Structure formats: structure tokens, C-alpha cells
Amino acid sequence: MKVAVVGATGLVGTKMLQVLEERNFPVTELLPVASERSIGKEIRFKGKPFKVVGMQDAIDARPSVAIFSAGGSTSLEWAPKFAEAGITVIDNSSAWRMDPAKKLVVPEVNAHVLTENDKIIANPNCSTIQMVVVLKPLHDKYKIKRVVVSTYQSVTGTGVKAVTQLMNERKGIDGEMAYKYPIDLNVIPHIDVFLENGYTKEEMKMTNETKKIMEDDSIKVTATCVRIPTMGGHSESVNIEFENDFDLEAVKNIIASAPGVVLKDDVANFIYPMPLTAHDKDDTFVGRIRRDETQANTLNCWIVSDNLRKGAATNAIQIAEYLMSKKLI
């Protein structure tokens, strides 16, 4: 199993290498790929050094799978070239997510849509991934009508530059700004670019991607996405309106039984998920589960997951694991 990791020196690419190693993915040959300025640098994988190579060299090496985390423009240019060479691409950028010809996959939710003909597979937005793994089993049971979500997203979702900005601010150091405003002791209700409808692109990603992954355009989703000065994971306050009424204990049992989901909901003992809970874990954590007392058939919950792992690297590698298990790569 020859594996290329494109964007291997970035924040998510580094996490992909870590997750590949931890999950013991059967890598027989690793091809770390990065931009021209990184070619020749060394990265370590399973205790061994590997030299970073360029895009064309990676294609010429014909890996079975190439896991991309190198930004949308790079994916648009290079993913088709990998695919034309018969290499299966799993892409972490937003480039292909809403392309009707490409599959958008969270393995616990819709891996069944994948076939051997899918040569470019899109990895969803981090905030969408952690939400749909919780929504799917509830939708199957009670049918979701509407979701209202507010996110509390870690600076790690922006990248190394944002982490550096936060740490510089905490130390009183002037430095390069990833955001228009300070992030320490602040929250910024602005992730990605603003669109004509007043929503940000991140907010519309959550709306559109949820419908595509859940295979149900009738689900209404409205989002407000906010950047906060935390590490370790993204948090979401989610209000879910169902067509059918529910029993609260049954809901908790469904969530606790969902693959990749951990119930942390014991307010009497102050047990609920936080970014500290999720940090460096592959699971999605759910707590603060309660009935919305202002509206029938409606539930409130709090969802937390490590955005670099399940929100990016782990989900991509789980797609590769599924493809391998079904002999699709």
C-alpha cells in the first residue's frame, strides 16, 4: 500500500502522518509531498526519515492513494492529474465537496456511496463532520426537520499562522496576523469569506454539506460560525427539530451507541464535553442533552471533536480504510 500525503508539512498533513501511524494503516511506502520550497526536507514516519517530494514525482511513483491537505487551488490543479494516473485521491479541501460528480463522505454516515470509480473523494468541513455523526442516527429514528447550529471553533482550524498569532498575543509579542482582529481574549464571528446573503462560506458549507452527506435535501440547516481562542477541538451548540417526538433517555442511548460518538452527559457531576476532552482523540463527544422547552419535538445538545483529527486527518484515513476493506483501492 503505497501512500502519498500531499501537504505533509502543514498542520493537517502532520496530523495525517500521526494518525496513519497510530491506526497502523498498512503503509508499505510513504511519499510525503509538499510545495517546491519544501522538496528535499525530511519528515519522520514510524521513526524513519522520508524526503519530501514534488507533485509530479509523487504521480510518477503511482501510489494507491493520495491524501490531500494542501488547499483548494492545489487540489483543483493536481487532484485530477493524480486521478488520471489511476490514483485514488481523498481531498481535505473545499474544492470538490459540492461537485455533484464527487462523493462527500463521513464513513460512519455514508461510506456506502463509494465505488471503485470514485477517484476524487471529498473530505467534508470539520464542523460538518462532527455534527453529522450525531445527526444521522437521530434522523434515522425521528426524522430531522431543522438544525440551528452555533460553532465555537479552535484557531487550529485556520492553521499554524493563527496558532502563532494567539501565542504571540498571550506573550505580548507583535507578529504576523492570521485574523483582522486580535483573537486572545476575543471571539470573532467570521470564518471564511462573507457571501451576498450575509452568511460566511463556512456557514453555508455546514448547510449544504449536511444535506449532501445525509442524502436529504429536506433538512433545513442554519449556522453561525465563530472563531475562539482555544486549541484541541471545535465545539457546537446544536438545536434539532424533529418531525416526531422523542424520549430523552432513548435519544441518549442512540447517541451513546452511534459509531465514533461518546456520550459525556452527567451535569450533576459537571461532566460535559470540552475541547480539552476531545484533544488528540478520534471520537466525537456529546453532552448537555436536553429538551427544548420552547418548541415541540426539539432537542438541544453540545458537540465537541478534535478538528485536526476527526474533523480532518482521521476522517480522511477512515475513508482510505473503508476503501481498502472493500478492495476499492
Residues 129, 115: Cα–Cα separation, whole Å:
21
Residues 108, 172: Cα–Cα separation, whole Å:
43
The amino acid at residue 114 is L
Query: What's the number of CA atoms in the CB half-sphere (13 Å) around residue 305?
Result: 28
Which residue of the set 126, 139, 225, 301 is catalytic? 126
| 48-51 and 42-45 strand pairing | antiparallel
159 by DSSP, 3-state: which? coil
3-class SS letters over 2-54:
EEEEECCCCHHHHHHHHHHHHCCCCCCEEEEECCHHHCCCEEEECCEEEECEC
Which residue of the set 139, 225, 234, 301 is catalytic? 234
126 is catalytic: yes
Helix ranges (H only) for 68-181 are: 72-84, 107-110, 126-142, 160-171
Query: Cβ neighbours of residue 252 under 8 Å, at least 6 residues apart?
Result: 263, 265, 289
Residue 116 pairs in a beta bridge with: none
112 is catalytic: no
Torsion sign, CA atoms 106, 72, 5, 156: negative
User: Which among 299, 298, 277, 302 has a CA at the least distance from the CA of 290?
Assistant: 299
Active site residues: 126, 234
